[in-house]
Amino acid sequence: MRYSVKKKVVDSQNRHSKHKPFTDIHCHCLPGLDDGPRTMDEAIALCQRLAAEGIATVVATPHQLGRFDGRNDAMKVRDVTSLLNEQLKRNSIRLTVFPGGDVRVDERVCRMLAEDRILTVADAGKYILLELPHQIFIDVEPLLTELAALAVKGIISHPERHSALLRQPKVVLRWLDIGAHFQIDACSLLDYSSPGVRRDAWQFLSSGWASFVATDAHNTNVRKPYMRAAFKRICTRLGKGLAHLVCIENPARVVDGQYVVPVSLHQKQEFNL
């Protein structure tokens, strides 16, 4: 079962802005499901902040599996997403939320997808956001291969927070060859992160290994969305073309279930900004 809500038409204010609105494919904005907002009021406040950041489309990605195993099944996430969209409409917040999941790596992932117990990004059936365990390094090549056989591509969330990855570039390249993608957290590119995380985040971007930047926002206090600031910083350091690709173009393609444009700093593509 796929989510039926269609994207809103971009309003005139966004059409005349300097760039297209952002799409955020990793955000913990649903109330009462995980370590994101506790209440609907908190969820609405976070969504107001997301909209203020220039984001028009958000994929809600509550934690699935791991320590939340058995709690956030697909139907529950879809239902809460529908409730949040209703409240956003009532509060005139110009933001559309799609269901998804921040899925902890698990040997049951493919079976649970087939059983409609966990979610792909935007419920589109093409990409799945995968969270690596923080305690140990796991080579997820077998899982990525199994997913590829189902025509589903894995997106590894915040690899910059897993320092072992950059010490094993051959592993990263193997995952990329299988068709995996990497998503960097916006805050990791800024001074809010530790020096090591910030260094690794820029390494993933400058190497052309990361295809997306997302907020991974949880609230309006400590884990805020920083999409505008990250976009500006990428523009300054790596150019507008790359910033547009990883913050706007590729995330929107994932929500639509389309192919992801490869990132290459050696063959930059110009976009109609």
pLDDT in tens, 123-182: 999 999 999 998 789 999 999 999 999 999 999 999 999 988 988 999 999 999 999 999
Beta strand pairing status for 127-131 and 102-104?
Answer: parallel
pLDDT in tens, 182-230: 999 999 999 988 999 999 999 999 999 999 999 999 999 978 999 999 9
Beta strand pairing status for 63-64 and 212-214?
Answer: unpaired
CA angle in degrees (0–180, nearest 5) for 115-118-123: 100
Q: Which amino acid is at 52?
A: A
- Residue 218's alpha-carbon distances to 33, 100, 105, 233, 238, in angstroms, are 11, 15, 20, 22, 27
Residues in the chain, how many?
A: 273
Q: Domains, the chain, ranges and CATH?
A: 22-255 (3.20.20.140)
The alpha-helical segments, DSSP class H, found in 193-247 are 195-206, 227-238, 240-244
pLDDT class of 3 with cuts at 50, 70, 90: low
Local structure of 260: helix, strand or coil: coil
pLDDT in tens, 11-20: 433 433 467 8
